[in-house]
Structure 1
């Protein structure tokens, strides 16, 4: 092989490997139940959405409790002490 043909051979090999199982299949593929797949996708996305929502809500509650004015650890910033806004 010439040096120029080597990349073409590699490219042809890489492109033909994914097609081999489809060409060698002896049985037809399985049918998809679209309703089940859509429900599965919906369930996964809702699980992610509830997890993210819980983290965001918990962060907001923590921020409100941590930085409230009645918190004993709360100290005014240097701008609040000087009266400069």
Structure 2
């Protein structure tokens, strides 16, 4: 059985969590999500992308705009930090 690959969305959430030193449980708490649901999102088992409500909640929990999670290339400061 193949394990799901993290989506670009999940990879961006992981990146922002690491950059801020946040653990998944803290992000889930801040976003009002069950830790198990966030784990499914981060592992890629919840499909391509969560609902708009979840995207907004995660963005707020991470201190970024939702668009940053959906397309980090649109935000020069994020793209620059990865170079």
User: TM class, shorter-chain normalised?
Assistant: under 0.3
Q: Which has the higher contact order (CA 8 A, sep 6+)?
A: 2
Query: TM-score normalised to the size of structure 2?
Result: 0.18
Q: TM-score, normalised by structure 1?
A: 0.17
Bigger Rg, which one = 1
